[in-house]
Amino acid sequence: MNLQPVRTDAYQGSGSSSSAVQTNRVLRNTYWLLALSMVPTVLGAWLGVSTGLARAMGPGMSLIVFLVGAFGFMFAIEKTKNSAAGVPVLLGFTFFMGIMLSRLVGTVLGLSNGASLIMTAFAGTGAIFLGMATLSTIIKRDLTSMGKWLFIGMIMLLVAGIANIFIQSSALMITLSVIAIGIFSAFILHDLKRVQDGLETNYISATLGVYLSIYNVFQSLLMLLGIFGGQDD
């Protein structure tokens, strides 16, 4: 086989250019779908607060509904991510997550400064997301290995959170919220860097990962603000 250096370089340059276009397309679609996913989340939270749907369920039942619904939706998203049904299924999931968030939102809105706390949590989450998104474009090193440690931390956080539903420890809840903000902020950086590096090529999967991290950062921030900044009537 006669390999021509000039042709090889030209081919690699073309492949690199094509890869960059693909990466930018995935990143752009991820950001657009992420922005769109906030709409059903807000609608779900509004519906949950208006109807008291999430509040009507006890902590145990709420946990079961959340786990079954969340994992069911994530399984469906994984199965449909390469089809036209992927986006509607993802948006349905974000609507469900909004309903699940309504219990906390309703509790915070019961405070005299509840609306202000929610806006502060929203602004704080936005600042963290923008910071991590910017950082993902600056960092040159591969962050893939960080993923497994973050996943282990997330599992430990989930187990401790489930245990605290029954323990009802305020100190543990505060500690878990602070740790969650750190872990899921790092997850945002990790997931966006995977897209930047071309390791994640499906924008629906990318959106799901970043959305879950943003959701958990917002929830944890709102919980902390409600505890330390809440004012009763």
> What is the C-alpha to C-alpha distance for residues 63 and 1, in angstroms, rounded to an integer?
63
Among the residues of the chain, which ranges form H helices? 5-51, 53-56, 59-80, 86-109, 114-138, 146-167, 170-196, 203-229
Residue 146 in any domain: the answer is yes
> What is the C-alpha to C-alpha distance for residues 77 and 208, in angstroms, rounded to an integer?
9
DSSP state letter for 83: S
Beta carbons of 113 and 231 less than 8 angstroms apart: yes
Please determine, for residue 12, whether its predicted confidence score (pLDDT) is greater than 90. Answer: no
Residue 16 in any domain: the answer is no
Sorting pLDDT into bands at 50, 70 and 90, what band is 233? low
Residue 3 in any domain: the answer is no
pTM above 0.85, yes or no: yes
Domain count, the chain: 1
Instruction: Note down the domain range covering 134.
Output: 22-229
Residue 186 in any domain: the answer is yes
182-198 tens-digit pLDDT: 999 999 999 999 999 98
> What is the C-alpha to C-alpha distance for residues 88 and 78, in angstroms, rounded to an integer?
13
pLDDT score of 18: 67
Residue 54 in any domain: the answer is yes
Sorting pLDDT into bands at 50, 70 and 90, what band is 10? very low
Residue 11 in any domain: the answer is no
Residue 46 in any domain: the answer is yes
> What is the C-alpha to C-alpha distance for residues 35 and 39, in angstroms, rounded to an integer?
8
Beta carbons of 10 and 181 less than 8 angstroms apart: no
Residue 114 in any domain: the answer is yes
pLDDT score of 162: 86
Q: By C-alpha distance, which of 216, 217, 214 is closest to 31?
A: 214
